[in-house]
Structure 1
Amino acid sequence: MKRRIFTLGALAALATSGCSSKFRSYNGPEVTSIVVNKGERRMYLLHHDQVIKDVEFDLGFAPVGHKQIEGDGRTPEGVYFIDRRNPNSQFHLSLGISYPGPADVAAARAFNKSPGGDIFIHGQPNKEKAKGRDWTAGCIAVKNRDIEKIYAMVRDGTPVFLYP
């Protein structure tokens, strides 16, 4: 009898462990663009002109202004695209933003500097806690439950409009 109870408990634990996966499915309307309003700390996932998801976020440690050079802690402003995804990110899950563009590279070179890169929409750190508000090096950080939904909803090539 004890063996049977143990076996049933183990099977229940295995069955529910599948529910905790960070990978979700999405069957709703296509996300045709992402609008990021840095000043309001709000990100909107849109299907044409209809908001289908609204998310709060944190920014880089220097949240005001357009990213100009590597290490400045700023988040880019302008039009970019989702160009990659990282299921093994050190920040739960992450979606890459196509920064730097040609104009960003040219502007940084004018200062004889690198524009930087590796700008993502990502979740919380896997190994430590986020350090208050606006703690990233220029990325857009959301809660893990939000990046799980965003990761499922957004496809590569989706335009991202980043506004001050």
Structure 2
Amino acid sequence: MLGGVSMIAACGSSDPRFLTYRGPDVTSVLVYKGQRKMQLMHNNTMLKSYRFELGFAPTGHKRIEGDGRTPEGQYWIDRRNPNSRFHLSLGISYPNANDRAVAQSMGMPPGGDIFIHGTPDRYRGQDDWTWGCIAVSNREIEEIYSMVRDGTPIYIWA
């Protein structure tokens, strides 16, 4: 069950994108690409579950820049962008050393800038429109942004 998520003023402003979360720590993020289900976990307890959209090539592991795929495997939430053009965003640590080696063996760059983010108006209602990111509604990314800390492991499965 979700602890309290409430609005607060961020840096003295009344920016509604910033919520505060007063519940159990999110200890991992589980992403099931085929089911389009993302779960925020506290140990073995699911705190919240979300539906999402993926890249324009939703199956398979991301190999190279521009392939439209979302990576699979264990990564980390490694940064946050409060000024994202996709409302808010949480960075995923793709590419790792193995991802870079695979892309290099193909003579291609691995790509990067994979995020969990919101959905601009022009993409609402479209299926699998990102370039490999995980897109939720703007309201949902506000909640996720407040709950998930940098350094949280994210597991992405097919």
Is 1:101 the equivalent of 2:96? yes
| Matched position secondary structure for 1:120 | strand
1:46 is matched with 41
1:70, 1:134 → 2: CA distance?
Answer: 17
Aligned to 1:55, which of 50, 57, 68? 50
Superposition deviation, residue 99 in structure 1: 0.1
5 Å-filtered alignment, 1:59-98, equals 59-98=54-93
Matched residue, 2:150? 156
2:20 is aligned, of 22, 25, 42, to 25
Q: Which amino acid aligns with 1:99?
A: Y
Per-residue deviation, residues 121-156 of structure 1 (Å, max 9, x unmatched) = 000126x33471000000000001100000000000
1:135 and 2:120 aligned: no
TM-score (norm 1): 0.86
Structure of larger gyration radius: 1
Query: Aligned equivalents of 2:154 and 2:145: distance in 1?
Result: 14
CA distance in 1, matches of 2:103, 2:61: 12
Aligned letter for 2:128? D
Q: RMSD of aligned C-alpha atoms?
A: 1.4
Q: TM-score, normalised by structure 2?
A: 0.89
Matched residue pairs, number? 146
> In the alignment, which of 23, 27, 35 is matched to residue 30 of structure 2?
35
- Structure number with higher strand proportion: 2
Q: State the AA in 1 paired with 2:68.
A: G
Please list every run of 5 or more consecutive structure 1 residues that lacks an aligned counterpart in the other structure: 1-16
Q: Which of 89, 113, 116 does residue 121 from structure 1 map onto?
A: 116
- Equivalent residue, structure 2, for 1:110: 105
Identity %: 60
Q: Structure 2 stretches of 5 or more lacking a match?
A: 1-12
